[in-house]
A and B are shown apart, each in its own frame.
Chain A
């Protein structure tokens, strides 16, 4: 449906006001409107006229006509519904339905028309909603104004206090014979700051709340008794079509763009599969102090094929942080220490088949703040009415790439949703469990820091502990398997590997 214009015409068909919803030049619309009176047919039982290029649909309203100009392919059913709505809007503003009324109320009418149609498409609104939309009574604005007024009042009070103080000081100084250096500037501020808002009119009339425009899906047919009969209907239809040579594909067979959420990555496993798994436990204080940072890592090996059971792994340890590494008792410790090769003590013995065995373990512990992979800093600021919370993150280890970062901030219960201001990424408010989830799909070098602001009633205490979860495909301790070699021939063996680094506990308390 494309609705080009809505116009109100007088009895002779001359347009009094007209609002266009698509871009068209003036001579065109004037021409279309000028043609209407001549095309308008009286005495027929239908109220539309088609020309070569457009369709006019109209409805008489006492001494006026409500006229819509649409394209010829436009959906007439939809247009008529719109027309009815338009026709009901006019008496809202014009009591007499006369030409002079329309002229008087031309602007409110245009505003109302705007709410019905957007770019030629009908909006899902009814008369009551249009009323709300054009009245423009906003609760948020009122809150904002009130807030501002209290702030002003506070500022004024403060100013008065300060002035008193200064006066006192000056008096004291006069008594003491000393002149304060800054005394003159104190009285000047605060006078002209907010004066512009004085002409704001606060409308206290109650308004009906904006109704959700979501309409619950209505039953499509009255055949409630035949459950599932519709589905069958479609199948019969499709079957018939296919028999007539039409191709029909299953609707569900579209695998595109379905993001499967993987907690543990599974990739195609080769006959030798290596997994590097690191868990981090971190507890940081709210003032920045690191209470504990501990990383546990394990290198797991899984052999899927007995032909390649006799292998050794070449492990590159690029660690500079001072990680403590342990080997499995059956691993040749000396060879590992010397060359970084992980193999069995008895080289002619194969690794067990189809089981995952941890061959290497490492542990790292530190109190060094600079080693925190993702530094999260919530900053609640208690103000008069509530609390403004500023929360920021910073990627301290630039070589890391964190995926699916989820920062969960608890909120005080029973005070409603937070008002979120500026933020990066996305957020989600769970009103049942009372927390705000801030999600960032990827944090890496390109966006090493970000922030979010929100305000809500509460105290600083309410927003702790902040917990963080993420998933990374890069090892924190930077230990990796670079090659897998056959023990006998020293030839490289094909292998697959997974690296996964995730927090076990990551809290700011």
Chain B
């Protein structure tokens, strides 16, 4: 059993990784030995390089060790010496049974010589290597030499000596118990900045008391220190104040001074620490201003984004938020940065912070930004404009008073080519006009003003809808009607078009084809051709927008127009009691509708009208001709109601979100214990953990996962039997899945009464798995058992299979090697899937981008739709993006979107389309499809398999 305690390569600290494509034949050990022994320096260097690479790839070459000690170590060549240090770093230093190799004693003497080497660089790099050496037996004899290096003339040697002493003290403090004292003394006499920094850093970690003493002795000169030293000073202050909050008062002054350091890095760090030192408004303000300054001054986007994150984190604390609110205008200065993502963050932050006092100023700035975007053409300008519109929209919801100043600016956008921003403007206007009655007139006036300049079809349609819905007075209705007429041109359209076609010979061709075609199909001379091309554009411009849309075949806009006109007509009838006028209005509307249907069927437009649109227009015609009160009700009241319902639902949702985010804010409960800083002992500080150490341990993956069940009933679930009970060698494996690797703990039992020699576990993998090291062969006594550990590296999320066999020789028997084939082990991808969420638009873009789709037919025995969905969500670790509201209720079918991410950052999407036909019985199973999309094939396939499997599994349990 002891053997299994031995650390495997994967667990050992690793400082060097070199991935060399292994196309070349690896040199034989013999060849290497010869080169190392007899070659000149160049050959030796090359051979040593090969050896190192082979060891890095998991080979162990015990026989080369002595050769290297004898023939390479004495060589004085600098490169070779340094390369040797890397060799010593990675070479296995222990025998199979965990004892140190005897040869290492010889090596140790070489280290000592190098520590006294006249070349300061060799001394330095040897000292640096010692930082990585962990064996106390090897370090002990070197200590006098290391101490001497502390007084070497060259700062390079000294600074590395400090680090060596630091790591030795950290790993084995008994070896050098006076290290803190030694370093403290060293620090007092030291002049070189690097040495000072390293010494100070060592004290911070080893003996804070001394570090503090040193700091207080020079606290007034801190501002004159170099940046790297200032940085560790800030770190010290952070640490000290963390462990011992009562010390805070001592350092505020110092930190404030550092806040004005010449190095931006120091300023950034100091600001972060100042916030932890004090939560007084002045301190927060100083820190926040420092952050803002950094964001504005630093040109790098990375810095901007990360520092912004810090500002946002600052905002999360309710007491700090007030302070930040005063700085909104400063934050908005960051908008000068060109990166969209930065601007987005800034705007969102500003929106959160804006108050009724600052809103007006903010709107002014935003307006200016909007105007600016008109001049600059950049790929992101459109998106930026859209962003600005959204922010303005949200501002006006938060502060309804300012809506009247915003709207005129925004409406100007509608004429813009850019659909993104315009669509958002319309959404905004729709909400504004519904909510604020007072703004109605203003909006409608403005809208009518801009309407003719609108060029995009979608915008046109939506704007028309707003006009149709909210024009209340007869005059307005008349205006709209005139505008519609204008935008349609001469009525009836078909006749008009025919006339035009007749007027100009080739007009038909021209309209149906593009300019390029014209050139090809024209049968005239070159002169006529040029005449056409010059006529064509002017002709197109002349055509009113609505007519153009219709001619292009977009009859949907026609349907919308019909609805609008119906609404207007019905309202007009209510307002104007003169039957003559009523009829005239009706007639006009109906004429327009009729002519649109006519045009649609005439074959003149690029595409004929669709049946849906015909239906829609026909319905409108019928409504107008019959003029039933019920239709009146539907068109003029119920429509608006459903809009207000939708807006209300949206508001509700937003409020909910807000509440949810508010809930996150920690509030002091009435019965919370009050903590007195003087009474807190060190262990109780857990509430705010040391950020530096926390992140470091996180990064190193040392935060252990919580073992839910220490006895491991769940652990036992993961045991896979590999061979049969009657096989000569029984094996079973416990598959432990870590984040990026899989550890197989294989129990091997010799069931025979023979001694098995050279028993080897041979493993191979399928999928994106890689074996890190080969398990070593071993010998087993009769009926003995032992554990073998094997590490498998995982590189992406795919179902992986590990298979292999166990081979062995029976001692004494002359037969060939025996072999037992192992059962396959399947690695479940669910261990790598975590739920993730994204917005609807993100989902859609991903959905259209992803290349691999796996369509899984539903085959289950669950009869309830929601239950089925929940079951799949549970099995697949995915997150349902469709809000619960949309899923509730029973209508016989269901659609939902799911999203998850692998720990490698791969997205996987799923779309549920399931139904339960009404005509089937209550117990009938759910039917339908689940479509899975992912960027990689493996992911889509594996996920599909998983869903297939879990459907069936469920069935098995039920039966």
Other-chain contact of A52, B118, B220, B256, B698 (Cβ < 8 Å): B698
From 536 to 562 in chain B, residues with beta carbon under 8 angstroms from any chain A beta carbon are: none
Contact present for A256 and B302 (CB under 8 Å)? no
User: CA separation between A80 and B252, bound complex, in Å?
Assistant: 28
Closest to B907 in A: A38
Closest to A218 in B: B262
Give the chain B neighbours of A145 by CB distance below 8 A. 118
Question: For the complex, is A261 an interface residue (Cβ under 8 Å from B)?
Answer: no
Contact present for A122 and B228 (CB under 8 Å)? yes
Contact present for B282 and A237 (CB under 8 Å)? yes
Question: For the complex, is B286 an interface residue (Cβ under 8 Å from A)?
Answer: yes
Question: For the complex, is B17 an interface residue (Cβ under 8 Å from A)?
Answer: yes
Other-chain contact of A251, B10, B11, B220, B225 (Cβ < 8 Å): B220
User: CA separation between A118 and B161, bound complex, in Å?
Assistant: 12
**Contact A80 B906, CB 8 Å, known A30-B793, A199-B76:** no
Q: Mark A94-117, 1 if CB is under 8 A from B, else 0.
A: 000000000100110011001000
User: CA separation between A495 and B249, bound complex, in Å?
Assistant: 43
Give the chain B neighbours of A70 by CB distance below 8 A. 699
Give the chain B neighbours of A47 by CB distance below 8 A. 301-302
Other-chain contact of A215, B83, B163, B193, B219 (Cβ < 8 Å): B193
Closest to B213 in A: A257
Q: Mark B327-367, 1 if CB is under 8 A from A, else 0.
A: 00000000000111100000000000000000000000000
Q: Mark B274-299, 1 if CB is under 8 A from A, else 0.
A: 00001011110010000000100010
Contact present for B217 and A257 (CB under 8 Å)? yes
Q: Mark A7-37, 1 if CB is under 8 A from B, else 0.
A: 1000000111111111111111111111100
Contact present for B265 and A77 (CB under 8 Å)? yes
Q: For the complex formed, measure the closest distance between the CB of B48 and the CB atoms of chain A, giving whole angstroms.
A: 9
User: CA separation between A379 and B416, bound complex, in Å?
Assistant: 95
**Stretch of A134-142, A279-287, A358-366, A400-408 with 4 or more beta carbons under 8 angstroms from chain B:** A134-142
Contact present for B231 and A57 (CB under 8 Å)? no
From 1 to 43 in chain B, residues with beta carbon under 8 angstroms from any chain A beta carbon are: 9-21, 41
**Stretch of B449-457, B481-489, B737-745 with 4 or more beta carbons under 8 angstroms from chain A:** B737-745
Question: For the complex, is B122 an interface residue (Cβ under 8 Å from A)?
Answer: yes
**Stretch of B100-108, B303-311, B623-631 with 4 or more beta carbons under 8 angstroms from chain A:** B303-311
Question: For the complex, is A248 an interface residue (Cβ under 8 Å from B)?
Answer: yes
User: CA separation between A81 and B699, bound complex, in Å?
Assistant: 21
Question: For the complex, is A446 an interface residue (Cβ under 8 Å from B)?
Answer: no
**Contact A234 B253, CB 8 Å, known A15-B17, A31-B741, A38-B906:** yes
Closest to A103 in B: B20
**Contact A15 B269, CB 8 Å, known A24-B700, A34-B795, A220-B223:** no
Q: For the complex formed, measure the closest distance between the CB of B901 and the CB atoms of chain A, giving whole angstroms.
A: 10
Give the chain B neighbours of A126 by CB distance below 8 A. none
Question: For the complex, is B785 an interface residue (Cβ under 8 Å from A)?
Answer: no
Contact present for B192 and A212 (CB under 8 Å)? yes
Question: For the complex, is A204 an interface residue (Cβ under 8 Å from B)?
Answer: no
Question: For the complex, is B254 an interface residue (Cβ under 8 Å from A)?
Answer: yes
Q: Mark A204-226, 1 if CB is under 8 A from B, else 0.
A: 00000010111101111100000
Contact present for B83 and A107 (CB under 8 Å)? yes
Contact present for B283 and A241 (CB under 8 Å)? yes
Contact present for A35 and B903 (CB under 8 Å)? yes
Q: Mark B125-160, 1 if CB is under 8 A from A, else 0.
A: 100100100000000000000001001011110011
Question: For the complex, is B174 an interface residue (Cβ under 8 Å from A)?
Answer: no
Contact present for A238 and B252 (CB under 8 Å)? yes
Contact present for A251 and B253 (CB under 8 Å)? yes
Q: For the complex formed, measure the closest distance between the CB of B49 and the CB atoms of chain A, giving whole angstroms.
A: 7
**Contact A27 B793, CB 8 Å, known A138-B121, A240-B282, A258-B217:** yes
Contact present for B265 and A75 (CB under 8 Å)? yes
User: CA separation between A78 and B265, bound complex, in Å?
Assistant: 5
Question: For the complex, is A123 an interface residue (Cβ under 8 Å from B)?
Answer: yes
User: CA separation between A140 and B118, bound complex, in Å?
Assistant: 6
User: CA separation between A73 and B125, bound complex, in Å?
Assistant: 29
Contact present for A114 and B128 (CB under 8 Å)? yes
Contact present for A14 and B19 (CB under 8 Å)? yes
User: CA separation between A118 and B163, bound complex, in Å?
Assistant: 8
Give the chain A neighbours of B223 by CB distance below 8 A. 217, 220
Give the chain A neighbours of B15 by CB distance below 8 A. 19-21
**Contact A213 B305, CB 8 Å, known A17-B19, A31-B741, A73-B695:** no
Contact present for B281 and A244 (CB under 8 Å)? yes
Question: For the complex, is B946 an interface residue (Cβ under 8 Å from A)?
Answer: no
Give the chain B neighbours of A447 by CB distance below 8 A. none
Contact present for A24 and B13 (CB under 8 Å)? yes
Contact present for A29 and B17 (CB under 8 Å)? yes
User: CA separation between A118 and B304, bound complex, in Å?
Assistant: 27
Q: For the complex formed, measure the closest distance between the CB of A354 and the CB atoms of chain B, giving whole angstroms.
A: 38
Contact present for B219 and A254 (CB under 8 Å)? yes
Contact present for A141 and B86 (CB under 8 Å)? no
Contact present for A46 and B262 (CB under 8 Å)? no
Question: For the complex, is B322 an interface residue (Cβ under 8 Å from A)?
Answer: no
Q: Mark B597-624, 1 if CB is under 8 A from A, else 0.
A: 0000000000000000000000000000
**Stretch of B194-202, B417-425, B668-676 with 4 or more beta carbons under 8 angstroms from chain A:** B194-202
User: CA separation between A77 and B310, bound complex, in Å?
Assistant: 13
Contact present for B298 and A77 (CB under 8 Å)? yes
User: CA separation between A474 and B298, bound complex, in Å?
Assistant: 65
Question: For the complex, is B883 an interface residue (Cβ under 8 Å from A)?
Answer: no
Contact present for A234 and B256 (CB under 8 Å)? yes
User: CA separation between A248 and B253, bound complex, in Å?
Assistant: 7
From 846 to 869 in chain B, residues with beta carbon under 8 angstroms from any chain A beta carbon are: none
Contact present for A237 and B701 (CB under 8 Å)? no
Other-chain contact of B303, A23, A29, A80, A196 (Cβ < 8 Å): A80
Give the chain B neighbours of A250 by CB distance below 8 A. 253
User: CA separation between A78 and B303, bound complex, in Å?
Assistant: 10
User: CA separation between A218 and B286, bound complex, in Å?
Assistant: 22
User: CA separation between A320 and B417, bound complex, in Å?
Assistant: 112
Q: For the complex formed, measure the closest distance between the CB of A48 and the CB atoms of chain B, giving whole angstroms.
A: 5
Residue among A7, A27, A70, A241 having the largest count of chain B Cβ atoms under 10 Å: A27
**Contact A34 B220, CB 8 Å, known A25-B14, A28-B700, A138-B121:** no
Closest to B234 in A: A75
Closest to A9 in B: B19
From 158 to 174 in chain A, residues with beta carbon under 8 angstroms from any chain B beta carbon are: none
Contact present for B904 and A34 (CB under 8 Å)? yes
Give the chain B neighbours of A258 by CB distance below 8 A. 217
Question: For the complex, is A268 an interface residue (Cβ under 8 Å from B)?
Answer: no
**Contact A245 B216, CB 8 Å, known A4-B700, A38-B904, A75-B268:** no
Q: For the complex formed, measure the closest distance between the CB of A61 and the CB atoms of chain B, giving whole angstroms.
A: 16
Give the chain B neighbours of A71 by CB distance below 8 A. 692, 695-696, 698-699
Give the chain B neighbours of A473 by CB distance below 8 A. none
Question: For the complex, is A76 an interface residue (Cβ under 8 Å from B)?
Answer: yes
Contact present for B78 and A136 (CB under 8 Å)? yes
Question: For the complex, is B264 an interface residue (Cβ under 8 Å from A)?
Answer: yes
Contact present for A238 and B253 (CB under 8 Å)? yes
User: CA separation between A117 and B304, bound complex, in Å?
Assistant: 24
Contact present for A72 and B698 (CB under 8 Å)? yes
Give the chain B neighbours of A234 by CB distance below 8 A. 253, 256-257
Other-chain contact of B16, A20, A25, A35, A254 (Cβ < 8 Å): A20
Question: For the complex, is B226 an interface residue (Cβ under 8 Å from A)?
Answer: yes
Give the chain A neighbours of B167 by CB distance below 8 A. 119
User: CA separation between A51 and B904, bound complex, in Å?
Assistant: 10
Other-chain contact of B278, A4, A246, A254, A422 (Cβ < 8 Å): A246
Q: For the complex formed, measure the closest distance between the CB of B60 and the CB atoms of chain A, giving whole angstroms.
A: 15
Give the chain A neighbours of B695 by CB distance below 8 A. 2, 53, 71-74
Contact present for A46 and B13 (CB under 8 Å)? no
Contact present for A118 and B128 (CB under 8 Å)? yes
Contact present for A72 and B699 (CB under 8 Å)? yes
Contact present for B280 and A245 (CB under 8 Å)? yes
Closest to B124 in A: A133
Give the chain B neighbours of A16 by CB distance below 8 A. 18-19
Q: Mark B652-667, 1 if CB is under 8 A from A, else 0.
A: 0000000000000000
**13 additional contacts (CB under 8 A) given A18-B17, A73-B695, A247-B249:** A1-B231, A24-B700, A27-B11, A28-B701, A38-B906, A45-B340, A72-B699, A111-B82, A111-B125, A133-B121, A201-B76, A214-B192, A420-B151
